[in-house]
Structure 1
Amino acid sequence: MQEPTFLILTALAAGPQHGYGIITDVVQISGERVRLQAGTLYAALDRLQGEGLVATDREEVVDGRARRYYRLTSEGEARLATEAEHLRRNADTATSRLRTRLRPAFSIKPAASREAGLAMVFRSAT
């Protein structure tokens, strides 16, 4: 699943939203990294509706303009939960491997090893 799709489904997990609300929520959820254009969002929503992951919740007229609200379907909830679990496991693996990589092979402090080395030199010289 592409990140924009994941973020759209995540936005709808909080409840039904209209297009502008989804766009705003995606910006917030992504820490301002993802900014969807209206055309991109509506194409994605059409695709997600076709896949049965999203459905139209209701329509209303605000200031003379039609506003359509979208909601996550039960299939959409299941797919989002599965994807979130995959991402969590992958993130856990990455974090674990980074910890292993960043951990020194042995834990002698540099100052202590210098002192021990100097002590050995002086002992062998006497």
Structure 2
Amino acid sequence: MKTSSNSPLSAATLHILLALASEDLHGYGIIQEIARQSQGSYRLGPGTLYDNLKKLMDQKLVMDVPRSALPKDEERRFYRMTPSGREVLAAEVERMRDVIATAQSRLKERRPRNA
């Protein structure tokens, strides 16, 4: 998903990439991290999570952690953000900064009413 700087990520994609930004996680760990990062205001169900993970993997933004990198007794599938995923997330953060700056500027402006 090579999105242009003007194409916002879906809420689910944004939250999944944010959850994977600092560590590899299994599916339930991603759900927990999203709830933690959003202070419970955004919840992702398993169906939505795995549908989005498949799309992100198809787009090479997320990958499976190689089994050799996991403890021998770990049977869950872990996910890792790829360098391309990190680039897409960084572009989205920059896009959001621009939106916020514009919104803050507009909120400070006082326009006279047309009578």
TM-score w.r.t. length of structure 1: 0.72
- The aligned residue for residue 90 of structure 2 is 81
How far apart, CA to CA, are the structure 2 residues paired with 1:32 and 1:83? 22
TM-score w.r.t. length of structure 2: 0.79
How far apart, CA to CA, are the structure 1 residues paired with 2:93 and 2:38? 14
CA contact (8 A) 1:13 1:77 kept: yes
Amino acid paired to 2:43 = R
**Among candidates 14, 21, 29, match of residue 13 of structure 1:** 21
How far apart, CA to CA, are the structure 1 residues paired with 2:14 and 2:55? 13
More helix by share: 1
Q: How many residues align?
A: 100
**Among candidates 51, 63, 67, match of residue 55 of structure 1:** 63
More strand by share: 1
**Higher mean Cα deviation, 53-62 or 3-12?**
53-62
Q: Which has the larger radius of gyration?
A: 1
Q: Give the unaligned 5+ runs of structure 2.
A: 1-8
Identity %: 40
How far apart, CA to CA, are the structure 1 residues paired with 2:108 and 2:36? 29
Higher relative contact order (CA 8 A, sep 6+): 2
Deviations 1:25-50 (A, max 9, x none): 11122232211111110111011000
Q: Give the unaligned 5+ runs of structure 1.
A: 106-126
- The aligned residue for residue 38 of structure 1 is 46
- The aligned residue for residue 118 of structure 1 is none
